[in-house]
Structures are given as structure tokens and as C-alpha cells.
Structure 1
Amino acid sequence: MTGTKIQFIRGLHNLRPEYKGCVATIGSFDGVHKGHRAILRQLKDKAAQYGLPSVAIIFEPQPQEFFSGEQAPARLMRLREKIEALLEAGVDRILCLQFNRLLRSLSAQQFIDQVLLQGLGIRCLVVGDDFCFGHDRSGNYRLLQDVGSVKGFEVIDTETLEYNGERISSTRVREALDQGDFQLASDLLGHPYRISGRVVYGQRLGRQLGIPTANVQLNRYRAPLSGVYVVEVFSGPDCMPGVANVGVRPTVGDLVKPVLEIHLLDFDGSLYGRRIEVEFKYKVRDERKFDSLDKMVEEIHNDIAVARQYFADHSIDAGKT
């Protein structure tokens, strides 16, 4: 809707009366891949027809994380990245609901009444016909249509987008990343896969070993990647080649949650405190435990040599900034 102020709303309690009246969709939107973007185009088109703002309803944590904890599928993106991607796709507002025992306990009818009607005053809902919601997933597409016909809101099915004969999904993206197939991941996402975050201080072990790294906390139990990769790092206008490790550093044995560590080739500056984006280009090897730090350092130098050769083969200046 032209002229609508973009807003991020955290929690049902922060909804104001002026927010009522919208066209909404509901989902995890992990990765905001091409399939998601097709749904968001539908959402925008419907919002334009109604002359109302478009709203994406998401959950934090994601429902699978609430129920399965550490066993939940690895996130493709953090909340901040998801918000940025949804807004970039043209969503006017994002309502982020905390998925907790209270929300889980709502019946399907209570969710419709409290969130969709009283909270948002929806005029149209764009969801898949396999969408389930409410306590014990008792609500479904048919219930939404039935209630909508009485309460005066439209319910339409989402488009399904396929690639090579299979539906595009976050699961397919995770599988592609796990297999090191970055071209397939890019084809499904619509852009190369990146992880972003702020560079923080680590234990400075890399610097002590003569291989300084920029560290980014992933703030999750599992990452969609694990191992050593050739990467490009973006910070503002700068693009810097490097080699990265995603994992728990089994040789040192000091991590429970994975961290992203990047060694930049021919770079002697500091990135501390800067927000960076790391684009994954090629998988060098799996993360593994070494018998000694000396053997680990030797292997890291081999990794760096592989990265230099990759950039040489792809006509990328390994010293550019």
C-alpha cells in the first residue's frame, strides 16, 4: 500500500487500533526463498486490491524450535535477517508473535478471534491449503474459510513455486547447503547464500597462531553449514576474499554453539564491531578434530592455499578491498 509506514511489531500487546484492517499471511519464512517471495507478491497484490497494508505474521522462536529445541532444523537466517528480507520484499508490516506456552495453548478459534480479528482486523488471509494452527494444530484452511465467510474476510491459497520439478522449500535449501551445492541454494533462494552478523572478540587463538580471524556469533544451537569454506566477506563497499570455518572447534573443544570464524586473505586491518555479510562460495572440507594444534595450523594453511587457488581460478583478486 503506497504511503504506508513500514513497521515491525513485536507481540500482540503492541498492536494499536490504527493497525486494524490489513491483508495478512502467516509463516516461518526461514530463508525468504523464491517460494516465499511468490507468496509475498500475492500478498502485495491482494493488499493493493483492498487498498490496505500487507502484514506478515511470524513467530519467535519458530514453532519447531519451541517443540524440538536443539533438534529443530537449523535456521537459514536470524530474526534480524528475516525482518530485513521481508521488508526488502515489500511487506508493509511484520507482526512477530512470541511462540510460548500461552500462544500454544490458544485454540484455533481463539487464535482467529484474538490475533486475526481483534488484533489485526484482517480483510484477507493468504495461507497454504495445508496450513494448520491452534492448540494441537486443530485449525486448518477449511476452518478459516468457514469463519471468514461469517466474519467477512477472504481466505486464498498460496502459490506453489517449483524448481526442477520439486517445490521450493526451506528444507531443500538446507539440504543444498549441507551438500555444499551453493549453486542450487542460490537458485532456490534467488541469491547466493550469506550469513550476516557483527564481528565480536573471540579468544584470539587465531592471532596467537598467526592466522587472525574475524568472529561472528551465530546465536543458535545448529547452523545450516558445518566445515571449512571459501568465502567472500562484504562490509560496506568492501568485498574481501577469505576462508571460513563454521563449527564448534573440536580440536580446542571450547564451544557448545557453533561460531563463524573468517580468515581474510592479505588483510591486516580490524573489523571488530562492524557488521559483515559472509557469502559462501565453495566447501573445502568438513570440520574435524586434530591431534595437535600444530597439525590444525598445518591444515588451516592448506585451506588458505585452496582458497587462493579458488580465487585465482575464478579471476578474483585475492587482495582486493
Structure 2
Amino acid sequence: MTDFIHLSDLDDVPDALRGAVVAIGNFDGFHRGHQHVMETLKTRAAERGVPAIVLTFEPHPRDVFAPEPFMFRLTDGDAKARLAEALGLDGIVIMKFDRDFSQIEAEDFVSRFLVNALAVSGVIVGSDFHFGRGRRGTPDFLKASGIAKGFAVETLELIGEGVDIISSSLIRSALGEGDIARANHLLGYRWFIDGVVIEGDRRGRELGYPTANLSTPPAFISLRAFMPYELC
């Protein structure tokens, strides 16, 4: 088994990742719905004898077009990489998303990144996936591109939980309501946050309850109910 590979762009893709089957999406949370995609990804890659990798984007596109970051994130790029490795994938590509990137035509995205850089043998996306300028890149567009360029494309339907579709938004709502158990159930692991321990006023020590003060990214500030866990 090769070491997990973490790339921040596709300028110089190692041979170990070329020809891979690739799952593309934002994958905020790597929740149970995303894990369904990852299991299919690993199966298809194993059938072909090629690597299984994820292509995702940071920051989230919604934050790029907002006046300021506004959306609470379940997982930043580093957390996505940790989860991808824990799920047994071979690598992850976390591409920088900005306004210039959003103007790349869907045809160029396919030719530049999927064909020329990665030489993909297969692509897996969710049924709600869109990419490229004006969101012109739909699953049907991708399938047509695959036929023309010589790679397979598989579209997966979203997974439900009762009457709800498992989604990052549903998990954010559960966390915002303080329902950690439901959030963990939808995630498929215990939710965690990353931060740097900083010095506080040491008041907890005076009360007999020493605490650790975490400095967290701005995306976490708007969440009122949280409980840090370690990844199972």
C-alpha cells in the first residue's frame, strides 16, 4: 500500500495518482452520504487496479461569493485530508477556489484537470454536482465528456435518513441545536474541531475545573453549541 498523498494543486501530479478513479465534490463533513460515495470510489478503483482519490475545493464556494465568510464549516481542508486517509483512500487534491477559478469553463475543467493532469480512468459525483462557469458542468455533461475523452462516469443518488437527505446543512442544524448525538449519527463518526490551545484567564483552575482555551478558525465562531471529539 502506497503512502497517502495530499496535493494542493494539479501542476505536478505524481505518477502514483495518474489514472485514478476520482470523486469530485465539496464534501464538507465527509458524512455518511459522502462515505457512500467513498466506498463506491474504492470499489471502482479496486476493480480497475488504480488509485482512489478525492478532488475537492477550499474555501467553500459560498464563502468566496459572500461579503465575508459566513457559513459554519464541518471540516476544513486539513480535516478533509485526515478523514480521506482514515477512510482508506490513496490521496486527496484540495484545489484553491476563488473567483478566477469559478470562471473556468466546464470543458476546460475536464481537459485541464481530469484528462491532462490526472488522466482519470473514472469519475464519481453526486446527482447534485455542478462545476465550471455558470455551473454548466452537470452530471450529464460529465458523462458526455467521459464518452468523448475515454473515462467512465458514475452518478450516485443522495442517501436519506428518514424523510431527510443526509447533508452538511442537516448536520449543521443538529449541531446548532446542541443535538450532538444526531450530528454524530449523521456524520458516522464523532464530530471534532481543530484549534490551537491558547492561554486564558486561568479562572477554571481557580474553580477546580481546569480548561483548555482553543483558538479556532472564523468558520467556527457562529456555532453556539459544540463539543470537541477525537476522530474514532
TM-score (norm. length: structure 2): 0.89
**CA-CA distance at 1:105 after TM superposition:** 1.8
Q: Hey, what does 2:141 align to over in structure 1?
A: 143
**CA-CA distance at 1:102 after TM superposition:** 3.0
Q: Hey, what does 1:279 align to over in structure 2?
A: 229
1:127 match: secondary structure:
strand
Q: Hey, what does 2:56 align to over in structure 1?
A: 58
Select which of 185, 191, 205 maps to 1:193. Answer: 191
1:109 aligned partner, one-letter code: E
Q: 1:119 to 1:165 in 2, by over 3 A?
A: same
**CA-CA distance at 1:6 after TM superposition:** 1.3
**CA-CA distance at 1:166 after TM superposition:** 1.5
Rounded to whole Å, the distance in 1 between the matches of 2:17 and 2:25 is: 19
Larger radius of gyration: 1
Q: Hey, what does 2:206 align to over in structure 1?
A: 210
Partner deviation per Cα, 1:138-178 (whole Å, 9 max, x = no partner):
11111111111111111101242211221100000000111
Q: 1:157 to 1:224 in 2, by over 3 A?
A: farther
Kept in 2, the 8 Å contact 1:26–1:58? The answer is: yes
Percent identity between matched residues is 32
2:179 aligned partner, one-letter code: D
**CA-CA distance at 1:88 after TM superposition:** 0.5
Q: Hey, what does 1:287 align to over in structure 2?
A: none
Tell me which protein shows more strand as a share of its residues.
Answer: 1
Partner deviation per Cα, 1:274-319 (whole Å, 9 max, x = no partner):
xxxx239xxxxxxxxxxxxxxxxxxxxxxxxxxxxxxxxxxxxxxx
Is the counterpart of residue 68 in structure 1 residue 66 in structure 2? Answer: yes
Rounded to whole Å, the distance in 1 between the matches of 2:222 and 2:52 is: 30
**CA-CA distance at 1:106 after TM superposition:** 0.8
Select which of 158, 165, 178 maps to 1:180. Answer: 178
2:46 aligned partner, one-letter code: A
Kept in 2, the 8 Å contact 1:75–1:223? The answer is: no
Select which of 24, 29, 44 maps to 1:31. Answer: 29
1:157 aligned partner, one-letter code: T
Q: Hey, what does 2:224 align to over in structure 1?
A: 226
Matches within 5 A, 1:259-270: none
Q: How many residues align?
A: 228
1:174 aligned partner, one-letter code: R
1:131 match: secondary structure:
coil
Rounded to whole Å, the distance in 2 between the matches of 1:18 and 1:188 is: 33
Rounded to whole Å, the distance in 2 between the matches of 1:184 and 1:25 is: 26
Kept in 2, the 8 Å contact 1:4–1:53? The answer is: no
Partner deviation per Cα, 1:72-110 (whole Å, 9 max, x = no partner):
420012322221111101111101111123322210000
Kept in 1, the 8 Å contact 2:28–2:168? The answer is: yes
Q: Hey, what does 1:87 align to over in structure 2?
A: 85
Q: Which structure's relative contact order is higher, taking Cα pairs within 8 Å and 6+ residues apart?
A: 2
Rounded to whole Å, the distance in 2 between the matches of 1:55 and 1:174 is: 26
Unpaired segments of 5 or more residues in structure 2?
A: none
Greater shift after overlay, 91-100 or 67-76?
A: 67-76
Moved over 6 A (4+): none
Kept in 1, the 8 Å contact 2:73–2:219? The answer is: no
Rounded to whole Å, the distance in 2 between the matches of 1:37 and 1:9 is: 20
Greater shift after overlay, 43-52 or 72-81?
A: 72-81
**CA-CA distance at 1:48 after TM superposition:** 0.5
**CA-CA distance at 1:191 after TM superposition:** 2.5
Q: Hey, what does 2:115 align to over in structure 1?
A: 117
Kept in 2, the 8 Å contact 1:176–1:184? The answer is: yes
Q: 1:115 to 1:69 in 2, by over 3 A?
A: farther
- RMSD value, Cα: 2.2
Q: 1:115 to 1:101 in 2, by over 3 A?
A: same
Q: 1:208 to 1:158 in 2, by over 3 A?
A: closer
**CA-CA distance at 1:69 after TM superposition:** 4.9
2:68 match: secondary structure:
helix
Q: Hey, what does 1:14 align to over in structure 2?
A: 12
Unpaired segments of 5 or more residues in structure 1?
A: 232-277, 281-321
Kept in 1, the 8 Å contact 2:21–2:53? The answer is: yes
